[in-house]
Each structure stands twice: as structure tokens, then as C-alpha cells.
Chains A and B, each alone.
Chain A
Amino acid sequence: MSELICPHCGASNPLDAIECKKCHRFLFESSSAGAPFSPKEDDWLNSLREDTEPLPESGEENTAASEPPPFTEDVPDWLARIRQRTPEEPGEPVEQPSQQGEEEELPEWLRDVEIPSGKTGQTTSTADEEELPLPDWLSLIDEEKQTEGEALTTTSEPTETGFDRQTGDEELPAWLREIGIPHEETPSQPSAEEEIPAWLVESTTGEGEQPGAPAEPPLSQTEETDWLKSFAAFETQPASEEEESSAAAPEEDWLKTFEAFESQPEPLFSESQPPQPEDESDWLKAFEDFRSETLPEAETEEEPEAVQQPAGEESPPLESLFSEPLEEDWLQSLQSLQEEVSLPESEEESQPISEEAEPLQELPPLTEDIFPVTEGASSAFIFETPAQESVPEEELDVSPFISEELPEWFDEQVFESAEEQPSPAGEAETGLEPAELPGWLEAMRPIEAVAPGRIGSDDDQRIETSGPLSGFQGVLPAEALVTQYSKPAIYSARLQVSEKQRTYANLLETILQQEKQGQTTSAARSAAPQILGRLLVGVAIAVIVLFALFGGIRIAAPPTLFAQENVNFFTQIQSLTSAAGQNTPVLLAVDFEPALAGEISKIASPVIGDLLQAGKPLAVVSSNPTGAALAEDLLLSSAPPEQILNLGYLPGGVTSMAALANQPAVAAPRDRSGAFAWDRSGFQTIQQISDFSAVILLTDNTDTSRLWIEQLSPVLENTPLLIIASSQAAPMIQPYLQSGQAGGMLAGLPGLAAYQQLSGKPDILPAGYLDAFQAGLMLIVVLILVFSLYYLVMQFIRKPETKGK
């Protein structure tokens, strides 16, 4: 954008360069080379006026063809020359030189614009557009024209009659012709006939009557200060409505007309054009007819020659025109380039202009020159001359000149044309054929070339910016993944417990805490006194018992009142011993432990002695393993062997008791020696338990005594069940005595004392036993009372403390 490209060698040069720094040739050859472009002259209108001023040096053709215009006072010269050029007919050979002379006087920019509008100039325009950077708005207009022209060639047959009259309009600038077309749709603005410039009236009349006739000066020339008004009228006034428009002459600036042209929507134009051909002005119709008729001629080879001929004739006046040193307009450079461009031999008309516009963009020097000129002007002069490297990017750039003032269709077309341009590289790729690689080269291809799919997603367009893989695309985004991870969510491990469960848990915790604490302090505090107390109690009992046993002190008198069970027991024993003729065996059930053998043996010895003395055979059976041995020890001293049947241990517990109660011979068939028991004399009559004369139970256990009573009492019938029990088992056996299930009982030393008293044998109970027993019991009762009072007092003493806590 900021450099000039040399047309000869293609080298880039700065903006202010006159000649190429590489090939040292002038960047602007032809006449413009001598008059270099000066960016200081920004006003193109000024240059336009200067271009249209009469040249000091004019040729013969110019002087002959141009007559002194009658309106030189009011109308600018360049417009006057345009006026003079309009009546000239390009098809008439006679007046062709004069016409050429008029065209020479046209400004270059108008001539450039005029090229694509005519039939013959179409090929030249295509050739020029390859080199000249035409603005897009012009190319768009040309494109529209071309489409219209194609349509008109098919539908404009009736308008061919006016071809000769309107050929002079083809020399009008294209943008002027475009302005005239949409202006027809707008309501015509009437203007006074006297206000119309004479030259314009002449031109319109000339167009309507004879196109080749020379222009006549107007009859009345009014003082027209604003020449632009007449120009606007010339642009917008159709020939058919000339009279109407002359009645109402608008006092508006020509720029308003141009703005109206810009604001006119394109679709309205394209749609209203075909059905209303009669609304068009005559001169426009003639121009369109001419263009439609000359389209077939453009296909011939004569067309370039016809175009080149006037172009060559225009060069001398142009050189003289641009030879002035002050003429530094951008149009000069444009003209110089136009002259240098060689016209192509032939090109087809069907080639779209949009495709031809691409080479035009490859001329950046002109755009750089033009761009500063166009600043502040309309956006229609935007030249898109992007750099060669970044063509697509610059095409998408929105020009700052595209503002709200522009119509929408213009902006859309600008961008659509920019987007629809295919890239040359893409066209080249489509035309290439795939090469056939050798095997070894295919093997060396990277994995991406042979893999079915591309490694990595196409969406991942990130490029590694750091590390050894810097510059690669699609690498694993390790850093991004690392940043995506975060700490896992923290979930509460607390149990959801209800209030009830919490209460239970607290209660359990309290219990466990109490178990952990224990009572070590109290135990440690009472350990020594307990030992001392136990020692003192033991010593006291021992001393009292020994003193009572061996001291000869009479503490307890023999009992005079006897318990009923004792009396019953004595009665049953007395009945057994009194029956001397009946030696029915007596069953002696031994069920006590060796620990209490001293008590049971002392109680049972007198009873067993009485039975043995009476000759009663005794069958001894034991429900515990030690009972049989204790029974033998009890009976060895006083019983003869033939009178004793020791059945030994009766295994099976309660079942053996039940078996013995039901079938004694089956439950205990043999004695301790293994001999059959029930064959011995005195025991042969025993078939069942009731055959015994009495059953005497020696027991110190409440449970075993209860089992014996439960199993024997139902089956004993009239056989008495006598119990010799320890003092500790007596309370639990007492109910069975009261119920009659047991016939009598002797329990402890009191029972023995009672039996001694009942039997009248005073030596049964050893001396001192009862006194020691009574002394010991009295001591125990005293100790119980003393310690009970002690703890009672201590409880009253400790109570306030516990209350305080």
C-alpha cells in the first residue's frame, strides 16, 4: 500500500520515487513522466477544471472541429467540450475526425470511464482493467451494465431506429449514464426553459433530431451562475421529457442528484427497467440500442482496431495536456498507465468482469497514489489494492469510508465480490493431478499421510508455544489439563444419626467410661483392712470354737424342743429298728461332697449305727463319683461286709436317679467290685424302689436333694424318704418336708442334737461340739450385728458428703 511497483521490472519503490531504483526507468513513462504526480494537489475538481481549460497549443483538428462555444462565459470549458462532443456521431465517417477531436479534449478520467460503456470500448476496458486499478464501484457498475446490455440485445429490437441519433451518448461517462437511468424513476423536476444552458438545449435537440448535425448555439443564454445545475439537468433530464422538465428547472446542486443516484435501490432499477422501456430518455435508449447492436460486432476482429485507432489519435493532445508542469493530478498517472497498457488481441465478452478485476488489484503503485487523494471523498473511490501476501485478509477489512451514507446494496456488493473471488492457488490445486510416488518415498511419508484419520481433533488449533514441541499443532495440552484438575470434593464422613441414636450413643459411652474408670481407689484403700478384718474374724471364730471345744465351757444346753422333721425322722428310724423280724434293705443315697463330709458323717453315723445294729442291710448308691468312697469310709468301721451293698457311682445324673427309682436292678446291676448286686442275700427281694424299707438321702446340695425328692417321692409309695442334710441344704428341703414328700430330716448339729435327745443316747454328739457350734454361731451373729451397725453409722456419716456432691 505504501510503495510503487515499477511497471518494467516489478520492483517496489517508495511513494515519492520518480524512477525505479532498480531499473532506473521512470515509473511514469509517457507524458506523465515529465509531470510527476504531486500529492499536494488533492482537489480533483481543480485538476478537472484545469484539464478542461483550452489548451494553449491546439492542433488543427481541434481548431477545425471545435467552434467557439457561445456559453464560455457561464459554462466551464470542459463541459463545453463535452457538449461539443455529444452531437458527433462515431458511425459517420465524415464527422469522425471532429468527433475524435472532441474526445481528445475530454478529461482523461472521463475517457477512462467511458471505455467500458461503449461497445467498442468493451474490449479495451477489459484490457485496461487488467492493468489499471479501477475502483470497485466502477467495476460493479460495468458489471450491471453488461447484464443490462445482454438483456437489451434481446429485447431492444424496436429501438434500433434511433441508433444513429443517439450514438453520441456513448461518449458520455459511464457514471453519467448510470445516473440518468435511475433518475428516470424519480419524479422529474421541471425547470424553466430560460434557465437551461444553451448547450444543453442544443445537445438535447440534436439528439432528438439529427445526431450528426453540428451543435447550434442556444437562442437565449441566461445568466446561469451555477453551472452544476445545468450539468445536473443534463444528467437527469431525459430527451422525451425535455419540455416538461424545462418548465420546472430545479435549483439544486448536482451533488444532490448524485446522492439520489446513490440512494436509489438497485433492485428497483433492475426490475423496473425491462417493463418500462418507454420511460427512458431518448438518448439513453439510443445508447442502449447502440450497445446492444454493437455487441455482436465486438466478437469480430475489427473491434480492437476500431478501438485502438481513436486511442492512438488521442495521444498527441494528451501529451500536450499533461505537459504542463503544474498538472500533477492522479489522473495523469492513470492516463499514462493506460497508454502503456497494450490491448489484448481478443477476449470473449462472456468473461465476467469480476474475474478480470483480479489482475487490476495487482497494481499497488497507483492505489498508493490515489488513496491519499480519495481521503475525504466518497467511498466509491476506494481502491482495494491489497498486498500480495495477504490478499484474503485485506479483502475482509472494512473500509473506514463505508459508512451509513452508502446504500446497502453497495456495501453488500463490495463484500460479496471480495468474498467470491477464488484464490489463484485454489484454482491451481484443482488443476493439478496427483503425483505417483515411488514405493520408497511412500514408505518415508509421515504417519499423518497414511493414517486414515488425522491425529488429534481438527478443532484443536492450538499451537505449542513453549518447550521442545514449540510450534507444533495438536500436541497434548498438558498445561491446560493440569489447570483443569482441581481438588476433589470433600464429603463429610459424619454419620447422619437421629436424636434418639445420639442419646443411646451417649449412654453407651457413659457406661464404657464408667467401666474404664473402675474403683481402684476404694479397693486399694480397703485391701489392708479387709485382710486384717478377715484375719481378725477368722482368728476370733477359731479362738471361740477352740475355746468352746476344748475349754470345757458349757455354752449351749441340749435341745428340749424338737422340730417336726427331726421327730418324724427319729420316728421312722425307730420304726425301722424296732422291726427286728423284717430285714428289708434300706437304700442309702450318698450325695455330698468331701468338704462337708465332717458334718454329714457326724450326723449320719448314729443313724447308720442304729440301722446296722438293728440288722438292716444297707444298699449304698451315690450320684457323684466321690460319694461311694465317702460312704465306704462312713461304713467301714461299723458295718459288716455282708450287710452292705455298695452299688457305687450311679452315672447319668437325674436320668440315673429316675432309672434307679423305676428299676433299681437295671440302673445299678453291679456293685463296686463288679459282682452282680441283686443276687446277694438280703437284696434279692428288691425289684423296685418301693421294696426298700426306707430311703435315706445324705445330701449337702439343694439341687441334687430336690432331684432326688422329685424322682423318688412319686414312686416310693409307703417307703419313707428320710433326709440327712447339711445345714446349708436344710432350708430348701424344708418345703418338701412340710408337703409330706419327705418323711423326716436331720440337718446339722442341731438335728444331731435333737436325734441324740430323742434317742436318749448322750454320747452321740461329742463333747464341746454343740458348745463350739453355739459359741461360733453367737460370734457370727455378733459380728454380723457389729459390722451392720458400723456400715449403718458410716452410711449416715457419708450421706451429707454424697448429698454435697
Chain B
Amino acid sequence: MDVNFAWTAVAFVLTILTLSYLLGDNPFFRLATYLFVGVSAGYVAAILIFEVLIPRLAEPLMFGSPSEKFLTLIPLILSLLLVFKLFPRLSVLGNPSMAFLVGSGAAVIISGAVTGTLFGQISGAIQPFGLSENGDFLQAGSQLIGSIVLLLGTISTLVYFQFSARRKTEQQTSRNALVQFTAFGGQIFIAITLGALYAGVLAAALTALIERFDFLRTAIQTFLQ
């Protein structure tokens, strides 16, 4: 028996077990999910041990140069301190490691968000109004309309998340009429975006289903051969 046939058979069975969810939550589906979680966890542990700890920590400490060993002690100490987070009485000792992780992660994310998303999206919102680059009037007109719609969508979406309002009589709070109208437009743009996301999810799931059905057909053809 070929190894590929075996793995194809295993994949076929697991695929059938997963598709059993069509009948509702059942032990076959749970078996497939538990197996998937277990294998994934084992695989991740193996990956971490063999691709992270050994090549990045053990080998430099054992076989690396002194500079590498010294530099490796820092993550080693921080990692050991992070272990104390498992014990409530000694969890304070893991705070430096957590501080380092959170601090460095926040710094990287903020810097990346500012430079990669904020400035990039602002330039992207302004860029469509550069009509001089386009010689065609219709194309420029369509680009302008698209830019206006994009601008209105961006403004209306931002206005929609403006929840501050003044308190009026009779203990009722309501936003300004202009703000409410703009927020309503932003609500439409948000609904379209969420619809697109939902459609993308359905499309992705449908593509995966089609691929699995194609695998089943291929597997069955393999089994029948």
C-alpha cells in the first residue's frame, strides 16, 4: 500500500467525519475535531521544539560563540522568568518578561499601524482625487465619482462611530440631525463591507467544500482503481 494512499484514506475518513456535522453535532464530528486539535497541538509543539528551542536556544548555548551564548542568556532568563507565571505566588517574577513582550509588541504594532495603515490609508484616500494623471474624461469622471463615494464612505463610516451627543429635555439624548444622516450613510457603507466579508467567508467556505468534494471524488477514484 502506498503511503500516499494511506494518507489519502485517512484524509478521506476525516473529511467524511467532518462533513457529518451536516447532521448536527455528533461523535464523528467530535472525533475529527479532537483529532485535528490534538495533531495540530502536537505538530506545533514539535515545530517549537525542533525549529525554535533547539536551533535558537540550545545550539547557541552549547555550540555558539561566547557572544552568542551571552546574547542567548537574555532570552533564556526571560523565558525562565515567564515560567513563574504558572505559580500565582511567584507570578511577579514573570512580569519583566511580560513587560518586554508587551512593550516590544506594542511598539512594533503601533509603529507599523502608523506607518503602514494610517499614513498609507490617508494617502490612498487622497490619491484618487489626482485627476491630472488621467487623460480620459470619462475615466476621470468615474474615478472622481469613485473617489467621492470613497470619501463619503470613509467620512460617513467615521461619523457613524461618533457616539457623543448632548442631553436634551425629558432625559433623551440624541445626536445632531446632520450627524445622524451622515452616520446613516456610514452605516450603509459598513453594512456593505460586512456583507462583502460575509460573502468572502461564504465564498471561502464554498471553495473549501468544492475542494473537499473534489478530493473525495479523487480519493474514491483512487480507492476504486
Q: Which residues of A are in contact with B by a Cβ distance under 8 Å? A: 531, 534-535, 538-539, 541-542, 545-546, 549-550, 594-596, 598-599, 601-602, 625-626, 628-629, 648-649, 651, 653-655, 657-658, 670, 672, 674, 700, 706-707, 709-711, 713-714, 726-732, 735-736, 738-741, 747-750, 766, 768-769, 772-773, 776-777, 780
Q: Which residues of B contact A727 (CB under 8 A)?
A: 199-204, 207
A545-B209, A625-B47, A748-B200 known; A741 and B55 CB under 8 Å? no
| B134 contacts A by Cβ under 8 Å | no
Cα distance A599–B212 when bound, in Å?
Answer: 10
Q: Which residues of B contact A628 (CB under 8 A)?
A: 47, 51
Cα distance A548–B104 when bound, in Å?
Answer: 51
A739–B120 touching, CB < 8 Å = yes
Closest 10 CB pairs of A and B: A739-B124, A710-B116, A598-B211, A710-B112, A727-B203, A538-B22, A625-B44, A727-B200, A731-B196, A728-B200
B112–A739 touching, CB < 8 Å = no
10 A–B contact pairs at CB < 8 A?
A541-B209, A542-B209, A542-B213, A545-B206, A598-B215, A599-B211, A626-B43, A727-B204, A728-B204, A772-B206
Q: Which residues of A contact B116 (CB under 8 A)?
A: 706, 709-711, 713-714, 741
| B191 contacts A by Cβ under 8 Å | no
How close is B223's CB to chain A, nearest CB, in angstroms? 16
Cα distance A707–B115 when bound, in Å?
Answer: 11
How close is A740's CB to chain B, nearest CB, in angstroms? 7
Cα distance A741–B209 when bound, in Å?
Answer: 32
How close is B78's CB to chain A, nearest CB, in angstroms? 12
Q: Which residues of A contact B121 (CB under 8 A)?
A: 735, 739
Scoring B residues 96 to 109 as 1 if CB is less than 8 Å from chain A, else 0, what string do you get?
Answer: 00000000110011
Residue of A nearest to B114 (CB): A710
CB proximity to A under 8 Å, residues B31-61? 40, 43-44, 47-48, 51-52, 54-56, 59
| B135 contacts A by Cβ under 8 Å | no
For B51, give its contact among A648, A713, A728 (CB under 8 Å): A648
| B197 contacts A by Cβ under 8 Å | yes
Q: Which residues of B contact A709 (CB under 8 A)?
A: 116-117
B210–A549 touching, CB < 8 Å = yes
How close is A676's CB to chain B, nearest CB, in angstroms? 10
A780–B202 touching, CB < 8 Å = yes
A711-B116, A736-B120 known; A598 and B108 CB under 8 Å? no
Cα distance A777–B202 when bound, in Å?
Answer: 8
Residue of A nearest to B101 (CB): A655
Q: Which residues of A contact B214 (CB under 8 A)?
A: 549, 766, 768-769
A535–B23 touching, CB < 8 Å = yes
Cα distance A649–B46 when bound, in Å?
Answer: 11
How close is B14's CB to chain A, nearest CB, in angstroms? 11
Scoring B residues 175 to 213 as 1 if CB is less than 8 Å from chain A, else 0, what string do you get?
Answer: 000000000000000000100110111111011111111
A535-B23, A628-B51 known; A777 and B206 CB under 8 Å? yes
Cα distance A546–B215 when bound, in Å?
Answer: 12
In the complex, besides A596-B204, A674-B59, A748-B207, 9 extra interface pairs with C-beta distance below 8 angstroms are: A550-B217, A598-B215, A602-B207, A651-B52, A670-B55, A710-B115, A739-B123, A768-B214, A777-B202
Give the interface centre of B23, B43, B123, B207 by most chain A CB atoms within 10 Å: B207
Cα distance A739–B116 when bound, in Å?
Answer: 10
B208–A707 touching, CB < 8 Å = no
B44–A728 touching, CB < 8 Å = no
Residue of B nearest to A732 (CB): B197
Q: Which residues of A contact B217 (CB under 8 A)?
A: 549-550
B51–A542 touching, CB < 8 Å = no
B200–A731 touching, CB < 8 Å = yes
CB proximity to A under 8 Å, residues B118-134? 120-121, 123-124, 127-128
| B24 contacts A by Cβ under 8 Å | yes
A651–B197 touching, CB < 8 Å = no
Residue of B nearest to A742 (CB): B120
A772-B213, A773-B210 known; A706 and B117 CB under 8 Å? yes
A535-B23, A629-B43 known; A726 and B52 CB under 8 Å? no
Q: Which residues of A contact B105 (CB under 8 A)?
A: 653-655
Q: Which residues of A contact B206 (CB under 8 A)?
A: 541, 545, 772-773, 776-777, 780
Cα distance A776–B40 when bound, in Å?
Answer: 30
Cα distance A117–B207 when bound, in Å?
Answer: 155
